[in-house]
Structure 1
Amino acid sequence: MTDCLELLHEAPARALDVPPLLFIHGAYVGAWCWQEHFLPWFAAQGFDAWALSLRGHGGSRTSRPRDTLSIDDYVDDVLRAQERLPAEPILIGHSMGGFVAQKALERHPFPAIVLLCSVPPTGLAGSLLHMLLSSPLALLEMNLFMTGKRKPHRSLVEALFHHQPPEPDLARYLAASGPESLRAIWDMMGFSRIDRTRQHPAPVHVFGAEHDKIIPPDQVETTARFYGTTARILPEFGHTLMLEPGWERAAQAIAQVLQPAAQAA
């Protein structure tokens, strides 16, 4: 089997003079999580909106065993994807995808990156300690789900969402999700930290969610301090904000920080 990357695309009817957006999903999911709401919404605002499924996720195939896939492999996917876009994109990464975006900035210049509830530059250790102390059952269910042993139960759903989507939508989201690479998780535990000295210069916009039980606001603040910027903590959201009721408020906040790019282009 040959590796083949899935790229979903929503073209604007009237495009802004701004770089395209490349959305990078987090663990367990694929580009479909952006197609549900964000891609059509951003296209309607004039952005050329794209979403990548990292290899082994969504519609992206791989010839490798899943658990051998590394963060560097996922960065390779981002670099391959950006070559297919009409111009250098702004990267928008959620959770694990935010960590991948930060690593991609070490290897290629991008106009900007947007981090949504992102794994911090220092890795997952702080997040896992927080979950162990505050949501141990959700952490157990996450680990079981990561290895494909069973679907998540209520504790993990509550950790993913502050306001739960309607049951039919939630069932679709869980059915479309799948296990994550153990190698990639270990990389984020500290084996593949972000090297700020290697990153190309670019604006970094950092967003978190008030009720995020996976990447809590203090971890988001850590990321913002690393980049010398201010974290924007979005109220009344949980971790999976792009699929949560009220997602438009999160999309609007992101679009707002991208407006200066549109004005400067």
Structure 2
Amino acid sequence: MTSTRVPVVFIHGLWLHASSWQAWAERFAGQGYEPVFPGWPNEPATVEEARANPEAVAGIGIDDVTEHYTKIIQALPSAPVLVGHSFGGLFVQKLLGQGLGRAGVAIDPAQIKGVKALPLAQLRSGSPVLGNPANRRRSVALTKAQFRYGFGNAISEGESDELFERWTIPSPGRPLFEAAFANFSRHSAAAVNTANPDRGPLLFISGQQDHTVPDVVTRGAFRQYASSPAVTELRQFADRGHSLALDQGWGEIADASLTWLAGKVDVTAA
């Protein structure tokens, strides 16, 4: 990459393909950023290929994905902004905590170690994976109904089904187990250095109708940073669910992210 524009790395979560960030990439490019949206390790290049080869990502865990994005970030010409949704939001926090990235936006981020809230809606959303311990070593695909409950509960059934058909892929079960049992593991992969005083600014975005990462979980993660002098802020959207980064209202979330970043990042100073 030879551009002098500030890079922005988009990181997706479970069950969505990296190409689901395309609209965000175009919106950020229009505001002076240089976007990249690489998939997880071994993720096939298209939704169709990912569905045809589900075992390509089986067994991949949080540390594997963190290392993967670390290498991507280190290969960029300058420190990027990091934007992540769901487990992507967890990775944004891990990477910023390690001193990578100049700022981050964590949208409905997966649960990090230290967050103790465990709402029933979250348990139900995770049950397709967590209900079978063997899924830790497998890849798992959601059904249309499971996607509707976990992602599309705040939108119409028709839109939820359309998003399911367009973007969903099988994903590794291991990260969900690692996050779910993080508080019982001394050296959990879901641990984040929330005390790093030198990390870049971090914005949490929460959809308050989210079943997969309920608002109480995002607020719990936000509170983990209470003792850090680094900038940490929270923005809540009352009527949005876990699909907020890709449903027809995605632009509102993207624009909120850009507005916040405008006060934190000089896009002319790559």
Amino acid at match of 2:155: H
- In the alignment, structure 1 residue 212 sits paired with structure 2 residue 206: no
SS of 1:73's equivalent in the other structure is helix
Percentage identity across aligned positions?
21
Cα offsets for 1:40-64 (capped at 9, x unmatched):
1211222221112011324299xx9
Which has the bigger relative contact order, CA under 8 A and spacing at least 6? 2
- Look up the match of 2:178: 187
- Look up the match of 1:160: 151
Alpha-carbon offset, residue 223 of structure 1: 1.6
Q: In the alignment, is the contact (CA less than 8 A) between 1:20 and 1:49 conserved in 2?
A: yes
- Look up the match of 1:259: 262
Give the whole-Å Cα distance in 2 for the aligned partners of 1:158 and 1:78.
Answer: 29
Cα offsets for 1:80-113 (capped at 9, x unmatched):
1113323110111111111122222343432111
Give the whole-Å Cα distance in 1 for the aligned partners of 2:141 and 2:37.
Answer: 27
Q: Given the superposition, is the C-alpha separation of residues 150 and 80 from structure 1 closer, same or farther in structure 2, using an over 3 Å criterion?
A: closer
- Look up the match of 1:30: 17
Give the whole-Å Cα distance in 2 for the aligned partners of 1:205 and 1:94.
Answer: 12
Q: In the alignment, is the contact (CA less than 8 A) between 2:99 and 2:198 conserved in 1?
A: yes
Q: CA RMSD in A?
A: 3.3
Which of 41, 49, 62 in structure 1 is aligned with 2:27?
A: 41
The within-5 A match list for 1:110-189 is: 110-122=101-113, 126-127=117-118, 129-132=120-123, 136=124, 138-141=125-128, 147=138, 151-161=142-152, 162-164=154-156, 165=159, 167-174=161-168, 177-178=169-170, 180-189=171-180
Tell me the TM-score normalised to structure 2 length. 0.76
Give the whole-Å Cα distance in 1 for the aligned partners of 2:178 and 2:141.
Answer: 24
Tell me the TM-score normalised to structure 1 length. 0.77
Alpha-carbon offset, residue 67 of structure 1: 3.7
SS of 1:207's equivalent in the other structure is strand
Alpha-carbon offset, residue 159 of structure 1: 2.4
Which of 220, 223, 226 in structure 1 is aligned with 2:224?
A: 226
Q: Which runs of 5+ in 1 are unaligned?
A: 1-8
Alpha-carbon offset, residue 216 of structure 1: 0.9
Alpha-carbon offset, residue 220 of structure 1: 1.1
Q: In the alignment, is the contact (CA less than 8 A) between 1:141 and 1:153 conserved in 2?
A: no
SS of 2:236's equivalent in the other structure is strand
